[in-house]
Amino acid sequence: MTRLSLRWRLTLWYGTVLASMVAALGGVVYLLMKRELLNRTDWTLAAHAGMVQEQLAGVRSRDELAGRLSPQLLRHPAFDLRVIDAAGAELGRSDPFQDRGLPTPSPWPEPGQDVYESVRTPGRRRARVLSRVLDSGAGPALLQVAVPLDRSDRQLAELMLLLLLGGPLAVGSALGCGYLLARQALAPVDRMVATADEITATRLDRRIEVANPDDELGRLARTLNGMIGRLERSFEEVRRFTADAAHELRTPLAILRNEAEVALRVPRDSEQYRDCLENMLEEIDHLARLSEALLLLFRGDAGLGANRREPLEIHSVVEEIAEHIRVVATDHQQDLAVEACSPCRVTGNPEQLRRLVFNLLDNAVKFTPAGGRIEVRVGGAGGRVQIVVSDTGIGIAPEHLPRVFDRFYRVDSARSRRTGGNGLGLSICRSIVEAHQGTIELASEPGRGTVVTVNLPCSPGAHSQAPRHEPAGATA
């Protein structure tokens, strides 16, 4: 079953609420009008009964009482009258009273008490009757004054007809106006839908028009525009990443092909074949490292990077990795120092955290000249573990700093190629840190060195001391 559009649903909801309110209001008006007419009728009955009672005041016998009930009194054009004694005998009555068959209350009301009754006559007409006990010298007598309710019933019928005809007409008119208002109010939604339909993967530069940025639709449009902007940046990053990855894969493959073609072009001695195979193995290693880095980034993007987590002493990991890197640093005539404070425990993926520390130290060794110094400090405070890697290397120019964590971004492509870098080291570091709900910052100054600061959440119950933020040299 096809669901109604929002425009129709709003109209129907509005119509339902309005019809309920009109029905309730009509019922209240009808009941108030009925009550008011009845009150007015009772008031006139009481006034007429009081007048009759005054005329019958002071009688001393039954005959005198019957005599005062003059024909003028019994033939009132608006009221019917009857007086009966305690034995039930009529002392006087209007002729219509008998015709309408008005009842006698049983038992009689108490003296001074008025009893009002709405009765239906044999002709299916309604009448209002007031019964009052007269206490005179002739003994107790019951005075009954009645008036037909024809006029009140006719007024109530006219009011009911007006409500029955006017109510649906008002609701119908309100529904029509409500539909037009809903259509007008939702017109911006139609324009937003039309614009959104035109936005595809190749046209992410389009944006939804924001007529009033402060109303609900304006906030929705701004939210959608923000989402489209993020999609545009994501698509651009994917396109750039794909192009960079293809370029990075194509270069070693071309080198492998050239090496193989050169080796097969003319017969060569065993030493030349050996050199050729070594060059090919070097490119294969480069391809393997690149594939591993791409897989690591892909797993990080898919949220699969740090599924296996366990508590570990991060200062021990830093000391272990630094011990391996120290061999390379010594070979490059560099001084590598580690300062680990009190034990620092984090919960994370051991392999990825080792990869993080390795990448930071490997970068520091690659870009620090001979005679330079590399320092690693580990500590923590306030529920965070901090790893600071500083060096006295060549540094990074300020214009490159905003993009050093971008994938395949190289400050110097030729130097990165010589050092075996693929432009993914810092990207992988950031992916690992973010997967562990941490942060990574880099500060650098050309010719003075670089400082990389990593903050990771500390394991519950762990206690550590913050490291001193002093660069290895005069680094920023």
- Residue 467 pLDDT > 60: no
pLDDT at 258: 86
- 328, 349, 406, 429 from 433: Cα distances, Å: 25, 11, 14, 6
- Residue 159 pLDDT > 70: yes
Query: Would you place residue 104 in the very low, low, confident or very high pLDDT band (cuts 50, 70, 90)?
Result: confident
pLDDT at 93: 79
Mean pLDDT of 419-448: 86
Pairing, β 449-457 against β 373-381: unpaired
- Residue 472 pLDDT > 60: no
Q: What is the mean pLDDT of the chain?
A: 83
Give percent above pLDDT 70 in the chain.
89
φ, ψ for residue 315, nearest 5 deg: -65, -30
Q: Which domains does the chain have, with CATH numbers?
A: 1-99+112-198 (3.30.450.20), 200-303 (1.10.287), 308-457 (3.30.565.10)
Give the residue with greater pLDDT, 229 vs 464. 229
- 113, 237, 378, 412, 418 from 421: Cα distances, Å: 111, 20, 26, 10, 8
Cα 57 vs. chain centroid, distance in angstroms? 80
Name which of 129, 133, 159 is nearest 32 in CA terms: 159
**pTM for this prediction:** 0.53
Rounded Cα–Cα distance for residues 302 and 355 (Å): 18
pLDDT at 184: 87
- Token pair, residue 131, equals 């019964």
Name which of 120, 130, 121 is nearest 81 in CA terms: 130
Rounded Cα–Cα distance for residues 41 and 148 (Å): 9
Give percent above pLDDT 90 in the chain.
25
Name which of 183, 158, 169 is nearest 9 in CA terms: 183
Give the residue with greater pLDDT, 465 vs 294. 294
Could you read off the pLDDT of 317-332 as tens digits, one per residue? 999 999 999 999 999 9
- Residue 103 pLDDT > 60: yes
Q: Quickly count: other Cβ atoms within 10 Å of residue 261's Cβ.
A: 9
pLDDT at 296: 78
Give the residue with greater pLDDT, 223 vs 264. 223
Query: Would you place residue 2 in the very low, low, confident or very high pLDDT band (cuts 50, 70, 90)?
Result: low
End-to-end CA distance of the chain: 68
pLDDT at 57: 79
Pairing, β 139-148 against β 80-85: antiparallel
> Residue 100 carries which side chain, given as an amino acid letter?
R
Query: Would you place residue 473 in the very low, low, confident or very high pLDDT band (cuts 50, 70, 90)?
Result: very low
- Token pair, residue 276, equals 């050729």
Query: Would you place residue 474 in the very low, low, confident or very high pLDDT band (cuts 50, 70, 90)?
Result: very low
pLDDT at 46: 93
Could you read off the pLDDT of 105-136 as tens digits, one per residue? 778 888 888 999 888 877 667 889 999 998 77
Rounded Cα–Cα distance for residues 91 and 109 (Å): 18
Could you read off the pLDDT of 10-51 as tens digits, one per residue? 888 888 999 999 999 999 999 999 999 999 999 999 999 998
- Residue 92 pLDDT > 90: no
Query: Would you place residue 471 in the very low, low, confident or very high pLDDT band (cuts 50, 70, 90)?
Result: very low
Of 67-71, 140-144, 289-293, 441-445, least confident by mean pLDDT is: 67-71
Could you read off the pLDDT of 171-215 as tens digits, one per residue? 899 889 988 988 888 888 888 888 888 888 778 888 888 878 888
Mean pLDDT of 463-467: 51
Mean pLDDT of 293-316: 77
